[in-house]
Amino acid sequence: MVEVTVTPQSSLADRPVQIRVRGLSPSQLVTLRAWLKDEQGECFQSRAFFRADEAGEVDPGLHAALGGSYAGLWSMGLLWFLQPDTLFRRLVKRDVAGSPFRVRLEVFEGLSLGRDPKEQPLASCEAERWYVGPGVQRVPIREGRVRGALFLPP
């Protein structure tokens, strides 16, 4: 049974995570896809093609991507190379304290470009990427023409 995991499942957006796929056949060609919807409902996604090792595993930190949104050894590449489906959109988090970005990770058989809506992933999981740590207080700043926010640790 194919399984994809993100460790830790919930983390701050600037912290590294480990993405792993297990249960593949040795040398199996797969596509890993990451996607999320921002607060306006805009979809951002990335994908990378990998060949499983002799144990039937893929770890983007140990195995180089063969192509897709990026190529080479990038442990966080699936998260760093997220691109909008609509041109000229930017991935911006407005509600930094209230909710995380929920990134969906999926594994597909072979080289998948994700054009077929009926295509089912072999495995999937979800990771939370928070922009403010637990207990951090956000204080709005308005002084004259200055606008900003002060983030105070717990």
Per-residue model confidence as pLDDT tens digits over 8-67:
999 999 999 999 999 999 999 999 999 999 999 999 999 999 999 999 999 999 999 999
Please report the pLDDT score of residue 97 as a whole number.
86
Range 92-104 average pLDDT: 92
User: Mean pLDDT in the chain?
Assistant: 94
Alpha-helical (H) ranges within the chain are 77-80
For 3-152, the fitting CATH number among 3.40.50.720, 2.60.40.2240, 1.10.600.10, 3.40.50.40 is: 2.60.40.2240
Burial category of 33 from C-beta neighbours within 10 Å (exposed 0-12, middle 13-18, buried 19 and up): buried
In the chain, what are the domain boundaries? 3-152
Residue in 72, 31, 75 with CA at minimum distance from that of residue 50 = 31
Question: Is the distance from CB of 79 to CB of 13 less than 8 angstroms?
Answer: no
Dist. CA 2–CA 64, nearest whole Å:
20
Helix (H, G, I), strand (E, B) or coil at 19: strand
Question: In the predicted model, is pLDDT for residue 117 greater than 80?
Answer: no
pLDDT above 90 for 81: yes
User: Which pLDDT score, from 0 to 100, does residue 118 have?
Assistant: 79
Structure tokens at 33: 């896809």
Nearest C-alpha neighbor of 33 from the set 99, 106, 100: 106
Claim: this prediction has a pTM higher than 0.85: yes
